[in-house]
Structures are given as C-alpha cells and as structure tokens.
Amino acid sequence: MRGRVIQINISRGGLPKTPVACAEIGPLGILGDEHRHKSHGGPDKALLLIAGEFVDALCAEGWPVFYGALGENLTTRGLDHRAWRPGQRFRTGTVLFELTTPRGPCANLNVYGEGIQKRIHDQRVRDLDPASLHWGESGFYARILEPGIVFPNDIIEAIEGVDPVV
C-alpha cells in the first residue's frame, strides 16, 4: 500500500485544521497542533489520517467539506482507507507511525451538516468491524514510533512484514 501525503493540517484547537508547508512530528503529534478536548490527542491519537479520495466523495455528495475540514492532520491520496487496520505501520518523510483505532466523530463535525457523523461512522466501526461500509471513512488515529519531518507530496507507504491487529 503506497500513496502520498497531499496536505498537512494543524489548528489551535477545533475545526477546521489549516494547511502547513511542513510538519515536525513528535510523540504527541505535529508540533503546533492543539486540541480543545481531552478526548483528542495523546500518544495513541497523535495523528489523524483521512483519505483525500473520501473527502472528495463527500464533496461530490454535497457536504461542504475540504481537506482539513474533518480535523485530519494528514490528508492522503492513493491509500485505500478500507484496507487500514489497527497495528499497520506506515512511513512518510522521516516519520514511522502505527495505526491505532478508527476515529469516532464528535458533534463538532455538525458544522458541515446535521447527519455527517452517521454518514462517516457507524456501530460496526465502533465495534472494530472492517466489513462496515463506513470503515476508515472517519479517519484513523496513529501513534508515532519514530518522530521526524513530513512535507506535502511525501510518499506514504505501508511497512511490509508487520501484521496488523484485527
């Protein structure tokens, strides 16, 4: 599995996150990225990834979203979000990270329309069932295994030989 980072996003807390030219990523995520709620961030939620193709699909359905709108730190292109699993490891730039859990969308997303949470997430995702039609749509959190620097257009690829959980 191989793709590219098409946008790196941060905020002072809340939505949307806005693009930056590069990111220094440490154990708790992108330096300069802040969180308003204690349920976000921490070592197991250091990064949030969302597939750019899915953001594009939401736009085509009429949702007023854009890259960074859903609160993702890394917007990707070329990675199949339906194939993401907890325990998968990826490298981009000089950063190595491991997917931890699908993101449970919060009420803050309602700014983009009532019902968006149900559109991108369901009980099967909460139960960690990758057969859900919404698997990976709300994004995936990751922990940082090797801190480093990431730029837009960096290749992001799965590390072979690592068996994901689930």
The mean pLDDT value for 107-118 works out to 93
Contacts of 1 (CB under 8 A, 6+ apart): 79, 80, 83, 157, 158
pLDDT at 160: 75
Q: Could you please state the CATH topology (level 3) that the domain comprising 2-158 is classified under.
A: M1 Pyruvate Kinase; Domain 3 (2.40.33)
How far apart CA 93 and CA 23 sit, in angstroms, is 10
pLDDT digits (tens, 9 = 90+) for 26-64: 999 999 998 766 666 789 999 999 999 999 999 999 999
> Is the Cβ–Cβ distance between 17 and 33 less than 8 Å?
yes
pLDDT the model gives residue 127: 97
DSSP-based three-state secondary structure for 44:
helix
Least confident of 9-13, 65-69, 129-133, 143-147: 9-13
Query: What is the C-alpha separation between 6 and 74, in angstroms, rounded?
Result: 8
How far is residue 115's CA from residue 128's CA, in Å, rounded to a whole number?
A: 21
**Tens-place pLDDT, residues 59-110:** 999 999 999 999 999 999 999 999 999 999 999 999 999 999 999 998 889 9
What is the average pLDDT across 120-136?
Answer: 97
**Quick check: 113 pLDDT over 90?**
yes
Mean pLDDT within 108-125: 95
Note the Cα 98 to chain centre separation in Å: 12
Q: Could you tell me the residue ranges of all domains in the chain?
A: 2-158
Interacting residues of 119 by C-beta distance below 8 A, sequence separation 6+: 58, 61, 63, 134, 137
Any idea which residue has 């750019």 for tokens? 52
Is residue 161's pLDDT more than 80? no
Cβ atoms of 52 and 58 closer than 8 Å:
no
Q: Is the pLDDT of residue 126 over 80?
A: yes
